[in-house]
Structure 1
Amino acid sequence: MPTKQSIVDQKVTELAQLTPQLSRAMANTGKELNSNAIIGDRNWALNTLALLIGMGDMDDQLQVYVKAATDSGATDNEIQDVLNLASIYTGNPRAVNAARAIAPYLKQESDRLRPNVKEELINVGDHETMVWDNHAAGFPIILIHCLALDHRTWREVYPELAKTGARVIAYDIRGHGWARNAPVTKDLDQLAQDLHQLLVQLDIKQADIYGASYGGAVAQAFATAYPEATRSLALIATGLKGFPVLAQRAVAAEKDGMAAQVAESLIRWFTPETIARNPWEVRYGRECVLHISVANWAAAWRAMAAGDATETAGALKMPVLALGGQQDASAIPPIMQQLAAAYPNSKLVSLDPGTHMMPMEQPQAVAEQLTKFYQTVEQNNFQKD
């Protein structure tokens, strides 16, 4: 009769034949796995966290691997994604227990990044949008994100603006994020109407409107349609008008699909060094491009391509900050200069370094400029160039 040890030896031999790497890794107490793995420390920690949740391990190991994941650059959003997937594959009870165990970390990150923020879905007519709203007593700031992304674009800028005491609101544009199932975008005027409806729902009569790239195009359309509701404009890495090349990006996706748009988008958005490091903003941007539908991507690019504030900008008298970047490959410095020159009460600021995704790649510098702008408008001390 075979002994227990002989059975173990037989299983080890079978394992070695089936997967030599795992056999060596186990024999070397994990040293082979750790030194030869190609998935990277962050993914390794997140995968381990998922396995522990699946096994129902609610002890110290969960805390260990949450820390390992965050030490390797994982964000609270990515850890939340693991919990969300766990609820599907391991059942809600284990996911809920894991969420309770991880709750101190999630609350710490929430308090740091979204102080006193209520995350809620708001109905704006024909769809719902996700909103971050800190419900502060100060004058409202509305943050409008870039094309293909969502309200999380402002992840690192939001807490800095909240320090001003402003009521800071970030939301998802139609066709993006939680608003991805909305009827397809027609034009910038429709997006301006969506924002107006959001302000009505939030009982906000007037706000400072800050938009980046596509969000800047929406902000200009909103200010044109609702000047009385716009105390000031901050236009980040955006243009005064659209160009035919923008519509070509819609055609490219319709022809080749979204995966083919990833590399060009990242190269246009970030520096090569940042792409190589693959921090959260690059990972987030990559996945957003992959997950947006071709229809929503194409509609957004066509809406921005058709936008043109050339004739209307001169009539808008509110303070305008044109915030550009020296390394921006899209809203290049001459485009930002043209934008600033079109508004009669504007100031041009150019960041160096400054890229197209400045709110994510240079968040501290962006937050500093937006905070300064907000304070000068609050104090009625804004001075144009």
Structure 2
Amino acid sequence: MAKGAISLRYVLEGTGHDVVLIHGLGQRLEDWDVQKEALVNNGYRVLTFDLRGHGESEWTAEEVNIRTYAHDLNRLLCQLSIDRAHLVGLSMGGAIAQMFYRDFPEKVQTLVLAATFSYFPENMKQSSLESRLSYIDQGKMEELAELIARRSFTENAPIELIENMKKTIADNHLAAYRGSMIASINADSREYLAEIEVPVLIIVGEGDLTTPLACSQYLHQHIKNSRLVVIPEARHMLTQERPDSFNRELLQFLREMRER
């Protein structure tokens, strides 16, 4: 195993152009099931995987940053002989997708940046760190999971979605979640947004409390070949709360790229 390499759980399904789905902080590959099914049914080969320290993927005690996760993905793509793909990243996954493009632009066909950010302002970064670390360092992952799940969906969301997310977050390994959270909050792609040459779809829930609409607007303003779509009646987990709307926009974007 190459230096820095780590064992990742993944699923590769379907045939056609490659689409890679990169989940958010505290999630796992199953959180993309609805999107994966839609993509496979529309003629794409889809790669889902657990980020290091998430789901069933390995974790090490070494310090990590967003580049760590991007290079994990590159090793996985090399292992699977995937030369070029459409990258779809949600939240932290969107930050990883941006970093992946910076380091491996020749491997990216398009980017879909969902409910994500280029950076967090210092005040937002500090408040998020302080509030979450207090739960993590006291071992109160179930309480943190409750808070995150409630903020990630609208008040009208089905209770099963909220309960499922609570369980997923609460099941995280404490040290892995802590390290991943710090890496995500410290991510900053501002200096290379102007370098992005591929088509980009930016999509966000209208009421997102975790990565507010302003984060997506900033991305749109600084990525020249981008389109911004705002999904109404959705917060951070728009992929689960408004899957039909999300999938429609994603498939339309990919279809347009295929027809170019």
- Could you state the TM-score of these two structures normalised by the residue count of structure 2? 0.92
* 1:166 paired to 2:44: yes
After superposition, where does 1:131-142 map in structure 2 within 5 Å? 131-136=10-15, 138-142=16-20
Match of 2:242 among 348, 359, 362: 362
Match of 2:193 among 313, 322, 326: 313
Change (3 A) 1:167 1:142: same
Residue 232 of structure 1 aligns with which residue?
110
* 1:148 paired to 2:26: yes
Contact kept? 1:246, 1:301, Cα under 8 Å: no
* 1:248 paired to 2:130: yes
Cα offsets for 1:238-292 (capped at 9, x unmatched): 0111333343355221135212202210121112232xx422x323211112111
Q: CA deviation at 1:127?
A: 2.6
Contact kept? 2:142, 2:166, Cα under 8 Å: no
* Aligned counterparts of 2:85 and 2:3: Cα–Cα separation in 1: 17
Residue 128 of structure 1 aligns with which residue?
7
- Partner SS, residue 42 of structure 2: coil
**Structure that is richer in helix per residue:** 1
Change (3 A) 1:206 1:124: farther
Contact kept? 2:154, 2:234, Cα under 8 Å: no
* Aligned counterparts of 1:347 and 1:305: Cα–Cα separation in 2: 24
For structure 1, list consecutive stretches of 5 or more residues without a partner in the other structure: 1-122, 381-385
- Partner SS, residue 188 of structure 2: coil
Contact kept? 2:86, 2:110, Cα under 8 Å: yes
Change (3 A) 1:231 1:269: same
Residue 272 of structure 1 aligns with which residue?
155
Q: CA deviation at 1:340?
A: 1.1
Q: CA deviation at 1:146?
A: 1.4
Residue 260 of structure 1 aligns with which residue?
143
Match of 1:178 among 56, 72, 75: 56
Aligned pairs, number? 254
Which one has the largest radius of gyration?
A: 1
Code of the aligned partner of 1:156: V
After superposition, where does 1:49-198 map in structure 2 within 5 Å? 126-136=5-15, 138-183=16-61, 186-198=64-76
Change (3 A) 1:193 1:256: same
Structure 1 ranges of 4+ moved more than 6 A: none
> CA RMSD of the aligned region, Å?
1.8
Percentage of pairs with the same residue: 25
Change (3 A) 1:124 1:353: farther
- Partner SS, residue 155 of structure 1: helix
Relative contact order, higher structure (CA 8 A, sep 6+)? 2
Cα offsets for 1:121-165 (capped at 9, x unmatched): xx99633222121141x2100001111110011111111111221
* Aligned counterparts of 1:249 and 1:132: Cα–Cα separation in 2: 34
Match of 1:295 among 146, 158, 175: 175
For structure 2, list consecutive stretches of 5 or more residues without a partner in the other structure: none
Residue 93 of structure 2 aligns with which residue?
215
Code of the aligned partner of 1:244: Q
Change (3 A) 1:184 1:250: farther
- Could you state the TM-score of these two structures normalised by the residue count of structure 1? 0.63
